Amino acid sequence: MLELQRTIAKPASISGIGLHTGTSCTMTFRPAPDNYGIRFIRVDLGDRPEIPANTDYVVDISRGTTLGLGEAKVFTVEHVLAAIVGLQIDNIKIELDGIEPPVGDGSAMPYVEKLLEAGFVTQETPRDYLKIDQTVMHHDEENQIDIVALPLDNYRITVMVDYQNPALGSQHTGLFDLEKEFVTEFAPCRTFCFLSELEALADKGLIKGGDINNAIVIVDHDLEQEKLDKLGKKIGVETPLNIGDTGFLNDKSLRFKNEPARHKLLDMLGDLALIGAPIKAQILAARPGHKANVEFAKKIRALYQQNKLIKKFQHVKKEGIVFDINAIKRILPHRYPFLLVDKIIELELDKKVVGVKAVTGNEPFFEGHFPDYPVMPGVLIVEALAQASGILLLNALPDPKSKLVLFMSITNAKFRKPVVPGDQLILEAELITKRPKYFAIKGAAYVENTLVAEAEFMAAIVDRDQPKNIEEN
């Protein structure tokens, strides 16, 4: 796999109509600098909004993947993204003068050809691979969809589809080498749908740019010729439609025996580009679709963002530790004698954190808090929980050193057992509510698996130089 980032050498354009909107669009690929990523730019809009290609900007997945930023949208981006990641392009500008890329022949090949014409330039920055080091799963019981990412020092995808249709049958396919297989084995594979779906889409006013030459239509029920003619007129197809004998509308021949499965893999390549970074993993998918792909990509992207933040603060990797005391000091403003977290051992950004506080007889508060019977003050246990919770906000605090997290309220506090010197306090905190400038946490502290304290609290995020402005936030 490539070790350095790359972009294209020169601009390349393609024009046509969009699959669903039927509107005309010229799309131009342009070179981009290191670490720019993949962005769609609506040049037909006054402010030329740039929409990053990541899951944060997905606004619809009903019939393809749609990205949006404010009022600006770009429909059906998955084939374009598949072409880009299939050719291992890291940085590229995609300018459009319309809302939907040209559909071409329903595959990624028209985009691939343009990008190959443009050529590639190797850049100076190393690629920031996300190497999957743990199993990540997505399961949809209702639709019998399963997607799994497994550790692997490469990028492979295996897909299985089974729509219980005689013409389609059960199909599977796998991509094991992007450089050797993508252009010839997967980029040419066209989109497909069932005849019943075609009717439903036409009734909704979609697939206005659909044609018998840019999609495979699988016949899943009989339809009288009169109704078939009306359907053709509704979607604006010039070629007369017929049921045929092969199970595919107009007896269209497949480019590969398992072309539908290969196209599902192509879609998945494009949707997983929304992670925002190249990955090293083995992906296994059963019956994937855009909704499941994007949900799975969100899980992987969260892992990617977490790993980036961990690398930022934890300079030395330690087994069983997410952040050691030195990393915690880089994140939190607290210092002796009020830094009450020694290490973080588990972290799910925006979800849960587990910290550890070793309680020793040297704690300064023991001198005044029952000297003859030293007990850790309950309010300090809650403070320790709050400090651990501050780690959860890393995703919302690009510059933690410029912010402070201050208590707004503490409720339902219960102290069930004294904490004394020699105890190891396990601090578990779960994010309940998160807003731009405040959050709510449910915390629990344990000693040897025994609950010793719990509380719910709210806190505000304020600028460090303006800690009094809680009410304004």
Tokens of 267: 């879609």
Q: How far is CA 198 from CA 234, 312, 399, in A?
A: 11, 49, 50
Tokens of 159: 């897909």
Q: Contact at 8 Å (CB) between 24 and 10?
A: no
Tell me which residue has tokens 């769609």: 40
Tokens of 101: 């890329």
Active site residues: 290, 369
Q: What are phi and psi of 387, to 5 degrees?
A: -65, -40
Strands 279-286, 130-131: pairing kind? parallel
**Within 13 A of 166's CA, how many CA atoms are on the CB side?**
6
Q: How far is CA 362 from CA 358, 359, 365, 385, in A?
A: 11, 8, 9, 20
* Residue 236 to residue 210: CA distance in whole angstroms: 8
* Residue 473 to residue 465: CA distance in whole angstroms: 14
Tokens of 130: 């996300």
Rg (CA), the chain: 27
Q: Of the candidates 81, 110, 94, which has an alpha carbon nearest to the alpha carbon of residue 266?
A: 81
Supply the DSSP symbol for 393: G
Strand partners, 39: 52, 93
3-state SS class at 383:
helix
Q: Of the candidates 210, 303, 256, which has an alpha carbon nearest to the alpha carbon of residue 19?
A: 210
State the distance between the two ends of the chain, measured CA to CA, in whole angstroms.
47
Q: What angle do CA 315, 319, 321 make, to 5 degrees?
A: 65
